[in-house]
Chain A
Amino acid sequence: MPTVSTKKSALQYLGLGLFAASLLVFTTMLGLDDYEFSEDAILESFSAGDGANYWQQDAAAFQQAHLKIAGEETGLLTETFGSTFASEKALKQTYALAQARVKTHYKTEGLPQDVDSEGKPKVNEKGEPITTQMWQVELPDWKLKNNKAGWIKNAATGPVESNPWLFFLLTFGLGALGGLLYILPKFAAKPGIKNDHIFHNPLTRGLDLSWRSVFLTLTVLGIIVYGFYYMNESWVWPVVTTVIGLVIIGLVLFVHNSWGRDARDAGPEDYSGWLGILAGTYFIAFYVLLYWADQHVVAWVHMVSPISEGIFQYFSGNDSGGEAGKWFLYGLMYSFIMVVMGVRMIAKYRHNKYQIIRTISVMFFQLAFAFMIPEILLALNKGWYKDEAVLPFQDMKNIWPLDYDFFHSWSVDGFINNPGSLGMFMLFWGIILIVVGVPLMVHLVGKRWYCSWVCGCGGLAETMGDPWRQLSDKSLRAWKFERYIIHGVLIFAILMTAATIYSFLPNGDYWLNRTSFLIIFSALLAGAMAVALVAYSKSRLTISKLGLGLGVAFGVGMIGLNVYYMATGGDNYLFASTGKVQEWYGFLIGAGFAGVVGTGFYPVMGNRVWCRFGCPLAAYLGLVQKFQSRFRITTNGSQCISCGNCSTHCEMGIDVRAYAQKGQDIVRSSCVGCGVCSAVCPRGVLRLENSSEDIYDRAETERVIHIDMEGGVSLMK
């Protein structure tokens, strides 16, 4: 009988069933355990450290006593809770009660007299005692926020907590098995393009523009409103972000005349892509829990902890330690998914050697550089808990500004203070990648060397995300949005990092101080502008004057600002609080954009939402690719038949056909060089190529056969 789905064997249906079962276990296991809070586990977080002075010891004792009383009153320490939600509620109640009791205690008894570093009581000029402040002795909010996930994790008791391996097998194991049972039989089919029915399938057919807009708007608004609470009810950052967003929307719709323009809005207009909507919602929920509500995913962390402990103890030689955190969970999931879906990618494109090698490459970099090597280095360094050396968990292929906290003080401190040379190596390796590695490699082969061969985000997009690559929006309007947003994020990352380094550096005599940093920073900006302007004057590429103008204006403005700070030497560079800007960047871009929207919207807006609209490193690589690279996609003479397979399957939303049908080579800053346009072309029209012969003439010639009044009909000018 005729169908609109691909042919599947019984084994493949079994695989799908097993995968669905694993997903069901994975979801429901979050609610299986009970939670019993022990007095010691909670009170331990409030004990006064070694060397605490008398009032600190007193305060700790009061806090612990009142927590205990409050805990008994609310039942926290006696009852058994059936869910993380009930546990969290009881913790909050108990904590609020204890806070009130501690406050009342100090209000009635009075605040203790403060002491100096030598333990002598402090007095003012008149000899009157100086007391401590209330904030120094009360129970602070952040202690609850930082500790609740840990408390809930330690309170867990039940099937998951006592059988982590069983659940690991039922989720990771069964999921991978089911996936492979579904995928491996694909190797038996004949090699060739396998896109039958992707637009018939409710998981991969997508939604039309209006529904996409609804989902996107709701998600973004949700993130921004939550940001208000995340920033401790500070409205400044959410409002600034909203205003910038509205300005970009206004620019695209009204300055670039997208409003009312009939775009090529691809369907379907209904809910027939319902499975994709469900998948997207699940991904979004996963990221929200992982980033901002990890107290509810402690069962997952419990499940993978034995693996983390095993790796740590094996390499460190310790008998204990190495408990998993949520990032270990995430890294492990990431690696599993990339391996299974990488096998799928290879099965799908096994007629194409470029795709096979590229897929093996991203799988390797994820498993080795992003996952195993940092875990092993951490274990070898014993950079865990109370050991002296605290090496940051550094994914060695992650480059600033994608790796946005590379220059944060804790990270740099970690590199510098680490005994031995490994930390310093990592710091210099990172800087060399940014300043030399990226421009040089992009010059030679285009940004693909990173985005579709090495990068973890790109790797996930190319493996797990491949079934949705066709959903990227190819309209001109989407391209306009893309350019404002991605370069906006790049500017945000630059400003944040400059402020971070500025406030980190001393004002002193050491050669690397604030002044020398501002000089280096200005020189880099000037160098980048010079390269762009030289390329612009020499190149016959279409380069947007507006874009170039905005870029130069930014560079000149920053240099001016740097001169101002060199002259005046303010304490804070640009932002009132470097900590706040780091926090907002991490929340909005690092978590909200890259995770929730970037991956959550795979089934709605395609698999490269983050790479296309958000990644500041992709923006940086892209500028080099456009202005100064040997890379381009060549169009094969006049062979294009405008069928549109290339555009449809371009994950970056490039309208490849628009160039190919004119016989023009494709030079676009966003192209990640995945090579799928070339693979799906039925007429052998596209090829990814590098050549230094004609860097400034790339994409210049129209090579479709056409008429020249003097020369007659010809292919080449």
Chain B
Amino acid sequence: MHVAIIGNGIAGVSAARWLRKLNDDVRITLISAETEFHFSRTALMYAYMGHMRWEDLMPYEPFFWEKNRIDLEKNYVERVHAADNKLEFADGTTMLYDHLVIACGSRWNKFGWPGQDLERVGGMVSAQDLQYLEEITPEIKKAVIVGGGLIGIELAEMLHSRQIPVSLLIREGSYWSNALPPEESRMVSRHIKSHHIDLRENTELDTIHDDGQGAAGSITTKDGEKIECQFVGLTAGVSPNVSFLKSEETIELGRGIKVDNHLRTSVSNIYAIGDCAELRTPQEGRRAIEAIWYTGRMMGETVAYNILGKAVEYDPGIWFNSAKFLDLEYQVYGEVPAHGRDGLATLYWEHEDGEHAVRINYEASTKAVRGFNLMGIRYRHEVCEKWIATKTHIEDVLQNLGLANFDPEFYKQYEQDVVNLYNKQEGTKLQLKTKRGLSAAIRFLRKAVST
């Protein structure tokens, strides 16, 4: 059996690894036009900032692929001929497959802005994007970034490291407010400004102007303000990279590639995973397209089971994510909607320094804990997940909050402050029973196995 995988990002590589783990005989080909070897897309920024070399971005040594008999094909897939089980490459060659996994990722959005196709306009998604930015950096005296998601702030940090002044335009009133609750969103906004990045809330891009030589020279906002800049970063989200599939009508496309719960497309031996996959029936509370690292990894594992005939439905589990905004770390576990939900109570504690916060969401009626949002503080994934999965009472959680603390040794612990806040708000007299430490956490987690 030959499985061809288009895309060597985390989704495609996870699929290849799990196929090999589960089956010794399957022939695996990993196809990418982007790079020879898999690299960590999330670390692109560190190569630009000089924290890491390009080689350091590769999670596996080059011999890994040979050792695990995963064939690498550096080529661009021009067309998929689903009826013939055949791929057609840009160089005219073809490849036959028995099963095809499409994990071709996403590309950065362009929303039809005038001037969006000029030189020195671009996003930060691929190795080529990074290379292009590196090439044009000497020409950049000032930069404008449009869009306030995770890539926007990363791109701002990158340019900032090269001492290029950056204006970051966001449509909303504070940073990433469609994903972060208002307090956290405002905290990140403050943090960005304290690093001397010119964050402009409620500002939208109108036009990118030509500098006379076919490259960006300035922009105007919808308010009519003109900003001189030699680079415009477009980071207003990403969308599935599916244009090469438009000619193959048997594969049904929506915004992405439509897949069922077994990650199968409309063609029975073709699967889609990662950023490019659009679930027909996503789980309640989840989106049809989730372009994040962890879901790519989970889909890769799931698809391997399904291809090998062990039917497993894709289950992304309890939501989690993390990020770092300049120096501010962020982790989220479970349900933390940006604008709350009816019946969802929230306990929000923020340190007076304005750079540490803990939010715990719970059902107002049953007091069952629903989600955690952490700013500048690290919590244990397994502990939070178990609390959420077992619908633990908020007061039980609070009294054992030390179990979750994952900050380095000697860091100040804020669990008592969080408990005090709850006591103050609810008139209770809860005591913190468990302090930070691994032994208690292991005992707590092991109990899960026995009960």
Contacts and interface: CB of A to CB of B under 8 A. Distances in A.
A601 to B, nearest CB: 19
Contacts of B329: 682-684
B438 A693 contact: yes
A648 B52 contact: yes
Given A642-B59, A657-B59, A658-B59, A634 B50 contact: no
A705 interface: yes
Contacts of B411: 353-354
A684 B378 contact: yes
A647 B320 CA distance: 24
B46 A264 contact: no
Contact of A643 (B42, B162, B297): B42
B410 A357 contact: yes
Contact of A709 (B162, B310, B320, B449): B310
A690 B436 CA distance: 12
A109 interface: no
B137 interface: yes
A638 B294 contact: yes
Interface string B306-347: 000010100111001011101101010000000000000000
Nearest to B160: A196
A351 interface: yes
A12 interface: no
A354 B324 contact: no
A112 interface: no
A707 interface: yes
Given A684-B322, A715-B385, A266 B438 contact: no
Interface string A673-717: 001001100111001111111100000000111110100111111
Interface string B54-71: 111111011100100000
A200 B50 contact: yes
Given A636-B378, A713-B298, A691 B442 contact: yes
Given A357-B410, A644-B52, A634 B327 contact: no
A444 interface: no
Given A3-B163, A354-B408, A705 B294 contact: yes
A431 B63 CA distance: 46
B53 A266 contact: yes
Nearest to A266: B55
Contact of B62 (A262, A351, A636): A262
A200 B158 CA distance: 14
Contacts of A476: 61
Contacts of A423: none
A4, A639, A645, A648: residue with the most chain B Cβ atoms closer than 10 Å: A639
Which bucket holds chain B's interface residue count?
35 or more
Contacts of B62: 262-264
A688 B408 CA distance: 7
Contacts of A531: none
Interface in A119-157: none
B268 interface: no
Nearest to B441: A691
Interface residues of A, number: 73
B50 A197 contact: yes
A705 B385 CA distance: 11
Given A644-B56, A690-B438, A705-B294, A715 B50 contact: no
Interface string A311-327: 00000000000000000
Given A7-B163, A198-B51, A265-B55, A642 B40 contact: yes
Contacts of B291: none
A447 to B, nearest CB: 16
Contacts of B386: 716
Nearest to B329: A684
A262 B53 contact: no
A190, A267, A643, A648: residue with the most chain B Cβ atoms closer than 10 Å: A643
Contact of B61 (A353, A475, A684): A475
Contact of A263 (B63, B380, B382): B63
B381 interface: yes
Contacts of A643: 40, 42-43, 46, 57
Q: Which 4 A-B pairs have the closest CB atoms?
A: A637-B381, A192-B327, A684-B378, A262-B62
Given A644-B59, A713-B316, A716-B448, 20 more contacts: A1-B163, A196-B50, A263-B61, A353-B408, A353-B409, A353-B412, A354-B409, A470-B52, A639-B331, A642-B293, A643-B42, A645-B46, A684-B331, A684-B379, A688-B409, A705-B298, A706-B298, A713-B298, A715-B381, A715-B385
Interface of A: 1-4, 7, 190-193, 195-201, 261-268, 351-354, 357, 470, 475-476, 634, 636-639, 641-645, 647-648, 657-658, 661, 675, 678-679, 682-684, 687-694, 703-707, 709, 712-717
30 contacts: A196-B161, A197-B49, A264-B55, A264-B61, A351-B327, A636-B406, A637-B380, A638-B294, A641-B43, A641-B293, A642-B10, A642-B40, A642-B293, A644-B46, A644-B59, A645-B43, A645-B46, A675-B408, A682-B329, A684-B329, A687-B378, A687-B407, A691-B437, A693-B438, A693-B442, A707-B305, A709-B310, A712-B315, A714-B317, A715-B385
